Amino acid sequence: MPEKIHQEMFTPHLVIEMLRVHADRNVLFLPDGSARTGRQIADETSRYCQAFKSLGLNRNSRIALLSGNRAEVIHVMDAALIETMLIAPLHPMGAADDFVYVVEDANIDTVIFDPKFDALIAEVKQRCPQLARIWSLGPSEAGDDLLPVVARQPAPPLVAPALSGYEVYRLTYSGGTTGKPKGIEGSYRCFIEMTRIMMAEWEWPEDIRHLLVAPLSHTGGVMFLPTLLKGGAFYVIPGFEPVAVMEAIQKHRINCVLMVPTMIYALMDHPRFSEFDLSSLETVIYGASPMSVPRLQEAIEKFGPVFFQFYGQVECPMTITIMRKSEHIADDPRRLASCGRPVPWLNVALLDDDGEPVPDGEPGEICTRGPLVMPGYYNKPEQTEEAFRHGWLHTGDIAIKDPDGFLRIVDRAKDMIITGGFNVFPREVEDALCAHPAVAQAAVFGAPDEKWGEMVTAAVVLKPDGQATGEELSKHVRAAKGAHQAPKTVHFVDAIPLTNLGKPDKKALRAQFLRR
C-alpha cells in the first residue's frame, strides 16, 4: 500500500494526461498544413501500441528509429515510452556506418524508418542480418509498411506503465568527436527530472507557439511535452532551411524556437533576412555548443533581447546551467561568454584533476551529480567509471567561475592546445576571430608541430561579403590575445563540419587538414 500511495509520476503519465487535457484542442501543426488534437494524437499512439504488440514486440524489444520530422515520430516514440520498449533514435544526418554501429552496439532487433531513407536502410539490412524486423512508415523497398498495420488497430485508452523510474528506455548515441560513439542511457527518472527543471527554470512565452526546426527524434522532441504542459502549440517543419524557418515564423506568429548557434548564424547571414517579420519571437532558446560573443551581440541587435541559453549534455540532459534573457547584457562580453549559472536542482562544481574544487577565477572541469545524471554508458563499464570518478559526472568542459556565479566555458578539456608551454583554449581564439568584421564562424584546433609541440590552427568561414587573409586574421588575434594564441595557419572553408548534435566537428577538421 505505501508504494501505491507514494507512486511517482513519470513522463508516460504526463504525456497521457496532457493529451487528455488538450483532447479537443489542436496542439500539433504539421508541414502539410494539417493539425492534430490531443485526442487524435492519443488515439493514433494507442494504435501504434497495439500494432507493436500484435507484431511481437514486448518489454525486451529494442527499436532503432530513423525519420525526418513527421507526426509518426511522436507516435513511435511515445508508444515505445508507454510500452517500456527501449528506443535508440538514429540521427537523420547520419550515414550507414553510423547506423550499423548503433544497431550492433545496442543489440537492436527492430528498425522503423522513413521511406526517404530507403537506400540507407537497405544497406543496414544487408550488413545486419540479425535484425528481426524492418518496418517503414509508408511504402518502401527495404522494409514492410507499418502504416496499414497501425490503421487496422483499435485505440483503447492509453495506460501508463508501472515504473520504478530506474528503467532505461532510451539510448542516445554521442557525436563521437573523440572516438567511437557511446550509447548514453536515459532512464524514466532522468527524463522526468529534466522536464521538471525545464518547466521551473526555462523562460517560456505566455501562449507558446513553438516552431520545431531541430530533429523531432532528438532535441526537437524534448520540447513537445513542456509545450503541452504549458498549454501551447507545436509547429513542425521538415527541417532547418533559413527561408522556410523565417516564413514559418512570420506566417504562424511563432514566439518560441530552439536553435543551435549555427542555425542563428545562418538566419542572420541570409541575404533575405530583412524581408521577414520576425517580431513575434519572444524566446529564442539556444545551446548544444557555445555561441561566439561577437555574433551573439549581433543577434541581440537584430532580434532583440529574446535569447535564453541552456547548457547541458546528453549525460545530464538539457539543463545544468541557464542564462536568462535579462542576463544577456549586450555590452558585457564577459557575460555573453558565459553559459549561465547552475540550476538549483542538482549539485554543480568546478573540480581539478584530483576531484577537488578549484578557487573562483581558476579553470576547472564542470562536474555534476543528482537525479538528472544518466545511469551510465551502455555496455561500457570502464568508460562509465571514468565519467563518474570521484563521485561526480565529469562533463569534459573546462570553465571559470566569475564573482557573480556565472560560469564561462573556456573549452573542452580534450581540445585544449599546449603550444610552446602555453595552454590555449580554442574557444577564446574563436571568439577573437569572430570579432573580425569579415568572419562568420571559426573553429580552432591544435596541429602537431616539432617546434611548438602543437600549433594553433583555425578553420574560418567568411561572411558573404567578407574579405580577409590568413595573415590579417592572425594579426587580429595577436593584437587581441597575444602572440601564443594567434593561429599559425588559417584555412578558409565554406562551412564548419558539424556532428549529428550540431556541434563543430573538430575531429573531422583534424582529419581533413592534418592529413595533407
Question: Would you state the pLDDT for residue 177?
Answer: 46
With a cut of 80, say whether residue 516 has pLDDT above it.
Answer: no
* pLDDT tens-digit readout, 29-53: 998 889 999 999 999 999 999 999 9
Residues 6+ apart with CB under 8 A from 385: none
CA distance 480 to 470: 16
Q: Which of 463, 398, 462 is nearest to 427 (CA)?
A: 398
Average confidence (pLDDT) over 305-327: 95
pLDDT class for 242, splitting at 50, 70, 90? very high
CA distance 271 to 288: 26
Question: Would you state the pLDDT for residue 248?
Answer: 97
CA distance 481 to 436: 13
pLDDT class for 291, splitting at 50, 70, 90? confident
Residues 444, 487 contacting (CB under 8 angstroms): yes
CA distance 281 to 265: 16
With a cut of 90, say whether residue 67 has pLDDT above it.
Answer: yes
Average pLDDT along the chain = 91
The DSSP H or E segment spanning 447 is: strand 439-449
CA distance 506 to 417: 13
Residues 110, 64 contacting (CB under 8 angstroms): yes
With a cut of 90, say whether residue 256 has pLDDT above it.
Answer: yes
With a cut of 80, say whether residue 178 has pLDDT above it.
Answer: no
Residues 454, 444 contacting (CB under 8 angstroms): no
Within 13 Å of residue 312, how many CA atoms lie on the same side as its CB?
Answer: 22
For the four alpha carbons of 220, 222, 226 and 231, in that order, the dihedral sign comes to: positive
Residues 406, 422 contacting (CB under 8 angstroms): no
With a cut of 90, say whether residue 5 has pLDDT above it.
Answer: no
Residues 6+ apart with CB under 8 A from 66: 89, 90, 92, 94, 99, 111, 112, 113, 114, 117, 120, 121, 217
Q: Between 25 and 506, name the one with better pLDDT.
A: 25
With a cut of 70, say whether residue 502 has pLDDT above it.
Answer: no
Question: Would you state the pLDDT for residue 482?
Answer: 77
pLDDT class for 197, splitting at 50, 70, 90? very high
* pLDDT tens-digit readout, 367-389: 999 999 999 999 999 999 999 99
Residue 508's Cβ-count burial label (10 Å; 0-12, 13-18, 19+) is: middle
- Count CB-CB contacts under 10 A for residue 25: 12
Residues 363, 415 contacting (CB under 8 angstroms): no
Longest CA–CA separation in the chain, Å: 74
Residues 166, 189 contacting (CB under 8 angstroms): yes
With a cut of 90, say whether residue 199 has pLDDT above it.
Answer: yes
Within 13 Å of residue 129, how many CA atoms lie on the same side as its CB?
Answer: 0
Residues 82, 49 contacting (CB under 8 angstroms): yes
Q: Which of 7, 150, 131, 130 is nearest to 66 (CA)?
A: 131
Q: Between 290 and 421, name the one with better pLDDT.
A: 290
Residues 191, 171 contacting (CB under 8 angstroms): no
* pLDDT tens-digit readout, 463-491: 988 899 999 999 998 888 878 788 998 99
Torsion of CA 257, 262, 263, 264, to 10 degrees: 70
CA distance 37 to 27: 6
Average confidence (pLDDT) over 216-230: 92
Residues 432, 481 contacting (CB under 8 angstroms): yes
Question: Would you state the pLDDT for residue 500?
Answer: 65
C-alpha 120: how far from chain center: 23
Residues 81, 15 contacting (CB under 8 angstroms): yes
Question: Would you state the pLDDT for residue 422?
Answer: 67
- Calculate what percentage of the chain has a pLDDT beyond 90: 72
Q: Which domains does the chain have, with CATH numbers?
A: 8-27+37-187 (3.40.50.12780), 202-371+392-413 (3.40.50.12780), 416-514 (3.30.300.30)
Q: Can you give 328-357 as a three-state secondary structure string?
A: CCCCCHHHHCCCEEECCCCEEEEECCCCCE
Residue 205's Cβ-count burial label (10 Å; 0-12, 13-18, 19+) is: middle
Q: Locate cell 581539478: which residue?
A: 352
Q: Locate cell 551529480: which residue?
A: 369
